[in-house]
């Protein structure tokens, strides 16, 4: 009897573990859908529901990743690269045959070596519990704008110095005596030689400014100006363009920072939340902000001035120092306990968006925490413009 009860307890513990696929999805969301990441997770901490898979596609919130999975006891290693969907069945079979041919010895050695080389770790918060994942080295995350500025300026100066430079200016020398024939010679000018002058482009030669400062927890569109383009960032900032965000949240818990990396300070039920109730609450919040728009301008909603302000552009844009104003709220995805909203607003920041998710949950008689924020549009600029040609503000009517 005692043996059967013990087996039931162990079975419950095993069933309570999060699956490896859930940890993978949650990690990518916590990292704001990075372009690349690589981590270890212990076999003992998760339920392996991807056994036998070596190279496969994995979709998270519309983004596709190529996953290279390797079992290296006592860990599972995941290499994740954001790339378009491809048929990886041939690669998957090749890696599987390669592991069998090597009897798994290299993988075992990799796992044993990783136990000594792991230098940092991170907690993954899933609905089924917290799982710790491990890294050989610390990956770039929570990048501030100042850090981004230093990285971009460093990369620009490095790449410019790799380009073919102009030839050194020759030195003209006149040799000989005044009593004899003078000889004009052209010599190499070492004063203009790259090995003497050093790199032609220095980080201090490059100016970089941004139109809107993104928080470390926000990814996506960021308008930057380089050198003479810094003047354009001021024009963009003064234009009070509307920004759109994909804001993801998770019902059922709240943290001290209102973001998923904070300490959990409360939990609640969320089964009563439906898509319809969420939609009605969003419409109520949006209507309240539309009424506040005229108040920010100091206009009476029943006055002729308010009518003309609304009919002129259709959108009321308060000053730069006014409180945040929401123009549109829309449900993009709803799959309890996770949900994703599209928020169009101005004068906002990361703290305001996190409070928006928190206050939304309170209106629904539950709690929620913000898990991801991504800027998908800044005025006329979208994510599709990130890798295209230069877009001048004048060309876009800004």
- String of DSSP letters for 52-86: T-SEEEEEETTEEEEEEEEEETTEEEEEEEE----
pLDDT confidence of residue 274: 95
Within-domain flag for 84? yes
Within-domain flag for 257? yes
Assign residue 346 the CATH number of its domain. Answer: 3.30.2350.10
Within-domain flag for 358? yes
Q: How confident is the model at residue 243 (pLDDT cuts 50, 70, 90)?
A: very high
Note whether 125 and 155 are same-domain residues.
no
What percent of the chain lies above the pLDDT cut of 70?
A: 86
Instruction: Tell me 360's DSSP state.
Output: H
Domain count for the chain: 3
pTM, full prediction:
0.66
Note whether 312 and 278 are same-domain residues.
yes
Specify the 3-state DSSP secondary structure of 338. Answer: strand
Beta strands at 243-251 and 338-346: parallel, antiparallel or unpaired = antiparallel
Q: How confident is the model at residue 386 (pLDDT cuts 50, 70, 90)?
A: confident
If you average pLDDT over residues 213-232, what whole number do you get? 89
Within-domain flag for 341? yes
Q: How confident is the model at residue 190 (pLDDT cuts 50, 70, 90)?
A: confident
Q: Which of 100, 117, 135 is the last residue of a domain?
A: 135
Q: Give residue-wise pLDDT tens across range 280-335.
A: 999 999 988 887 776 766 666 677 776 676 666 556 666 666 788 999 999 999 99
Note whether 268 and 183 are same-domain residues.
no
Q: How confident is the model at residue 375 (pLDDT cuts 50, 70, 90)?
A: very high
Domain housing 154: 145-206
pLDDT confidence of residue 134: 95
Note whether 115 and 16 are same-domain residues.
yes
Question: 108-112, 198-202, 342-346: which has the highest mean pLDDT?
Answer: 342-346
Note whether 131 and 151 are same-domain residues.
no
Task: Specify burial of residue 30 (Cβ count, 10 A radius: 0-12, 13-18, 19+).
Answer: buried
Note whether 370 and 310 are same-domain residues.
yes
Those residues whose C-beta lies under 8 Å from the C-beta of residue 35, and which sit 6 or more positions away, are 81, 82
Note whether 131 and 10 are same-domain residues.
yes
* Residue 338 annotated among the catalytic residues of the structure: no
Note whether 122 and 163 are same-domain residues.
no
Within-domain flag for 225? no
If you average pLDDT over residues 376-389, what whole number do you get? 80
Note whether 97 and 168 are same-domain residues.
no
pLDDT at 264 exceeding the cut of 80: yes
pLDDT at 241 exceeding the cut of 50: yes
If you average pLDDT over residues 32-43, what whole number do you get? 88
pLDDT confidence of residue 284: 95
Within-domain flag for 112? yes
If you average pLDDT over residues 19-29, what whole number do you get? 92
pLDDT confidence of residue 1: 47
Instruction: Tell me 137's DSSP state.
Output: S
Note whether 161 and 124 are same-domain residues.
no
Q: How far apart are CA 230 and CA 393, in angstroms?
A: 11
Within-domain flag for 221? no
Q: Which residue has the higher pLDDT, 39 or 151?
A: 39
How is residue 127 written in tokens? 């609905």
Within-domain flag for 200? yes
Note whether 263 and 304 are same-domain residues.
yes
Q: How confident is the model at residue 74 (pLDDT cuts 50, 70, 90)?
A: very high
pLDDT at 208 exceeding the cut of 80: yes
Note whether 372 and 329 are same-domain residues.
yes
- Among candidate residues 91, 215, 261, 359, the one labeled active-site is 215
If you average pLDDT over residues 42-68, what whole number do you get? 91
């Amino acid at each position: 009897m005692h043996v059967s009860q013990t087996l039931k307890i162990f079975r419950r513990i095993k069933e309570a573990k999060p699956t490896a696929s859930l940890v993978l999805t949650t990690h990518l969301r916590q990292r704001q859908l990075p372009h690349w990441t690589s981590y270890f997770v212990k076999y003992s901490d998760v339920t392996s529901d991807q056994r036998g898979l070596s190279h496969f596609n994995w979709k998270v919130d519309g983004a596709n990743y190529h996953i290279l999975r390797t079992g290296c006891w006592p860990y599972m290693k995941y290499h994740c690269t954001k790339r378009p969907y491809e048929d990886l069945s041939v690669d998957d079979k090749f890696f599987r045959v390669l592991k069998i041919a090597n009897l798994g010895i290299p993988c075992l050695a990799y796992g044993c070596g990783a136990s000594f080389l792991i230098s940092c770790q991170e907690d993954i918060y899933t609905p089924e519990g917290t799982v710790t994942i491990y890294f050989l080295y610390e990956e770039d995350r929570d990048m501030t704008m100042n850090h981004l500025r230093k990285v971009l300026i460093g990369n620009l100066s490095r790449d410019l110095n790799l380009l073919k430079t102009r030839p050194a200016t020759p030195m003209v020398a006149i040799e000989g005596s005044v009593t004899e024939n003078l000889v004009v010679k052209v010599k190499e000018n070492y004063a203009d030689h790259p090995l003497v002058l050093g790199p032609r482009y220095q980080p201090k030669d490059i100016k970089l400014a941004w139109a809107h400062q993104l928080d470390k927890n926000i990814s996506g569109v960021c308008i930057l100006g380089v050198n003479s383009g810094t003047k354009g960032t001021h024009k963009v900032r003064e234009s009070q363009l509307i920004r759109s965000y994909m804001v993801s949240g998770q019902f059922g818990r709240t943290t001290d920072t209102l973001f998923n990396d904070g300490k959990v300070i409360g939990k609640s039920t969320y089964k009563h939340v439906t898509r319809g109730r969420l939609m009605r609450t969003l419409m109520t919040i949006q209507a309240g902000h539309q009424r506040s728009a005229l108040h920010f301008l100091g206009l009476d909603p029943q006055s002729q001035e308010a009518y003309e302000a609304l009919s002129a552009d259709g959108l009321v844009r308060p000053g730069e120092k006014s409180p945040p104003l929401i123009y549109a709220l829309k449900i993009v995805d709803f799959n309890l306990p996770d949900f994703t909203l599209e928020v169009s607003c101005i004068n906002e920041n990361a703290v305001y968006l996190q409070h928006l998710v928190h206050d939304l949950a309170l209106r629904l008689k539950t709690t929620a925490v913000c898990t991801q924020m991504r800027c998908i549009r800044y005025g006329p600029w979208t994510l599709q413009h990130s890798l295209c040609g230069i877009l001048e503000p004048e060309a876009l009517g800004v």
